[in-house]
Structure 1
């Protein structure tokens, strides 16, 4: 997004380069060896550990923390990767405050959980720095599986299938593998090109070919993949963005938050990325928070998140909401967009106050306006086109033809989290493996 006559308020380099670099440095500093030993010493090593149950990938958390405490972080990493092959990224982006750490006994007793996420990062980073990949590929089965989508679900599925000796071809529509981890999270959560480093590390298992620039429905079809492979896994994510359904949303300066985050993630010089002076983000999830905070870090003077329901119903965690407000982002709740005003480009956004009743959201009739030269839509994503033979429920894949599995954000039943996608991809791989073993070949 560049400055133009239609969008005079949107401009690059609102802050000095050194200030931007500092703003986008690693948000959570990694633990050093001594800090990790101290943090691991707080774990009770519960035999019925609630943290394991709270982890979507069911990592044996007490075991890997004990391994850190006994000076073997490499073994801890293996324990993590056995359940979650993207454990390094999940340690950076998982909402641990609502998952394992919320369930921690220390959290219940003291209000201060064991720092599970940071310990997980310490273990996986230590092992990766040493070039360790503790998995070997089984003897070739002669079976081939197509994985569509190189996001967390697809990569987790591909790695587990390769471990079992199957040949895997990953078809990815973008220029890089990684999916959400590469294109969709705040830059300060994953610095130093970690997403691509983790992909490269994962591919060391062998038996996985990644083909980028290949899109389902345009370059390949589901029937075609079934004809050339023994099974197919779909991890295609959600490519569409819901509309505001407000007059004027097509004005210059109104954009999708996911596109802004993607551009930011792929820009080598953040000083060239244009941002508004008055930014309004519409939505209540992690995408809204990431877009809002990063707008502020780029130099936007006023950034406001507006959500249609009460703050307690925002899907972004309380921790992330607090992070946004501490960065200077204002949060307004119980308000929905009515219209985008401006002569060609956005100048104001009009909102109506909403009441969340038993019969659903109802407009109060009272409205207000926010000054804006840039508006980001973060009101949920949709599946762009169902694969042939698939059935949908709630806008996501619910049913598939024989020989096809799916996982990640394109399916229901998850929280649209990296860790959930990994679990679904891993588990689908085990089902595909069982299926392939039963197919004569």
Structure 2
């Protein structure tokens, strides 16, 4: 816990009105006329590259044509059939490196069809109406345990419920949503959308959630296998990589994921403390989200320090440009060497890096930056989990999420692959289809 008396970290750097403006919706929703104009730009390609680029394989030309012909509800149905969390994915997907990058308009004009905003228009329209878009099949009498109420677990649970199975989700936290609720920048998911989307998803019926239930201790994999007909693991990555430098234990050094979670759950952003001089270590989306939100909370100087080049950053160029537009400095080819201060952080010492024979190493040249708050955003790892084969520190899977243990499937961030919400949804959905086939013999 940071001792605020010994650091430059403080709450209330900005007034409420400014904070509301800073954390407003990053992209305003399209109104019906704007959606019609945006949809009219689509070529409705027969062999559409945007579909291939979408991890959930949504028929994008079809849903855009449905919007263009005044049928946003039908468009939403097209989306939800492939991606039941299409509302959140429309807000947080890096469309600039997925469907919109593949768009023919992008190749021809450098300006793609606004697929993400059109998807949001359709899904928001349908979610505002009464009733759930899917009904359950005849009950199968089978029960499935889903560990984790994040994107993968929710997508798996919904598809299983739709197939007629009963699902119990075991969630370690006190709220569902996983990354969507706790790990995404607040300006990407406003008006408590993540929680509202989960409530809407559960409207299909057949899904219950038990909170404060984490795998480990009293809840074991063997116990779940004995109690349920199948098990799906979608608990994400629970542990955070440490920062192996002197001074990493000083007041003011914290995990970026915890900072983002605290911000997302804060009822009043003016009560959230932030430093004057903030340094974020890392180059992925979490690093960018932590850096931008630090600036929006009133930090005077925010720097993202990444050990490789800007082109090698995990965050997309769009997100990098968003950060710089908010006043965040991107400092590349540097790695942390030490954190200085008497009890609390006062400076961070960085060492310049270079690739030699394909390996990254320090050059011996250093620089120091003033810092009263340092966030670690250098990746997460799987918490200790016995009995399952691993691959690169994650749960090894084959086919549609099958693990090395019979009757156990997995998907999302706890398995190899890209750590994206849309990928987690696809893996949860596909695992559910495979579980259904297995349960029906």
Please classify the TM superposition score into its range, dividing by the shorter chain length.
over 0.9
Per-residue displacement from partner, 1:160-193 (whole Å, max 9, x unpaired)?
0000000100000000110000000000000000
Offset of residue 158 of structure 1: 0.2
Task: Give the distance between the partners of 1:75 and 1:134, measured in 2 at CA.
Answer: 10
Task: Give the distance between the partners of 1:59 and 1:132, measured in 2 at CA.
Answer: 22
Task: Give the distance between the partners of 2:34 and 2:88, measured in 1 at CA.
Answer: 20
1:417 to 415, 420, 438: 420
Q: Unaligned 5+ residue runs, structure 1?
A: none
Q: Do the aligned partners of 2:235 and 2:414 also contact (CA within 8 Å) in 1?
A: yes
Per-residue displacement from partner, 1:349-381 (whole Å, max 9, x unpaired)?
001100023331011110111100000000000
Task: Give the distance between the partners of 1:132 and 1:112, measured in 2 at CA.
Answer: 36
The verdict on how the C-alpha distance between 1:317 and 1:353 changes in structure 2, with shifts beyond 3 A counting, is same
Task: Give the distance between the partners of 1:254 and 1:392, measured in 2 at CA.
Answer: 31
Task: Give the distance between the partners of 1:186 and 1:219, measured in 2 at CA.
Answer: 33
1:395 to 393, 396, 399: 393
Task: Give the distance between the partners of 2:278 and 2:404, measured in 1 at CA.
Answer: 41
Matched with 2:97 is 98
Offset of residue 389 of structure 1: 1.5
1:426 to 429, 434, 437: 429
**The residue matched to 1:405 in structure 2 has which SS?**
strand
Q: Do the aligned partners of 2:277 and 2:370 also contact (CA within 8 Å) in 1?
A: yes
Offset of residue 394 of structure 1: 1.0
Task: Give the distance between the partners of 1:362 and 1:109, measured in 2 at CA.
Answer: 41
Task: Give the distance between the partners of 1:392 and 1:345, measured in 2 at CA.
Answer: 38
**The residue matched to 1:367 in structure 2 has which SS?**
strand
Task: Give the distance between the partners of 2:112 and 2:134, measured in 1 at CA.
Answer: 31
Alignment of 1:151-166 (within 5 A): 151-166=150-165
Count of residue pairs the alignment pairs up: 435
Task: Give the distance between the partners of 2:376 and 2:241, measured in 1 at CA.
Answer: 8
Task: Give the distance between the partners of 1:2 and 1:326, measured in 2 at CA.
Answer: 29
Q: Unaligned 5+ residue runs, structure 2?
A: 397-402
Offset of residue 4 of structure 1: 2.1
Q: Do the aligned partners of 1:2 and 1:11 also contact (CA within 8 Å) in 2?
A: no
Matched with 1:175 is 174
RMSD (Å), alpha carbons:
0.9
TM-score normalised by the chain length of structure 2 = 0.98
Offset of residue 15 of structure 1: 0.7
Alignment of 1:342-381 (within 5 A): 342-381=341-380
Task: Give the distance between the partners of 1:342 and 1:352, measured in 2 at CA.
Answer: 18
Q: Do the aligned partners of 1:2 and 1:273 also contact (CA within 8 Å) in 2?
A: no
Q: Do the aligned partners of 2:352 and 2:362 also contact (CA within 8 Å) in 1?
A: yes
Task: Give the distance between the partners of 1:309 and 1:25, measured in 2 at CA.
Answer: 32
Task: Give the distance between the partners of 1:400 and 1:350, measured in 2 at CA.
Answer: 44
**The residue matched to 1:147 in structure 2 has which SS?**
strand
Per-residue displacement from partner, 1:64-114 (whole Å, max 9, x unpaired)?
000000001000000000000000000000000000000000000000000
Task: Give the distance between the partners of 1:216 and 1:24, measured in 2 at CA.
Answer: 35
Task: Give the distance between the partners of 2:89 and 2:30, measured in 1 at CA.
Answer: 16
TM-score normalised by the chain length of structure 1 = 0.98
**The residue matched to 1:5 in structure 2 has which SS?**
helix
* Runs of 4+ that moved beyond 4 A: none
Alignment of 1:292-311 (within 5 A): 292-311=291-310
Q: Do the aligned partners of 1:172 and 1:215 also contact (CA within 8 Å) in 2?
A: yes
Task: Give the distance between the partners of 1:335 and 1:308, measured in 2 at CA.
Answer: 4
Task: Give the distance between the partners of 1:222 and 1:384, measured in 2 at CA.
Answer: 14
Offset of residue 244 of structure 1: 1.5
Matched with 1:5 is 5
Alignment of 1:178-257 (within 5 A): 178-257=177-256
Task: Give the distance between the partners of 1:40 and 1:314, measured in 2 at CA.
Answer: 32
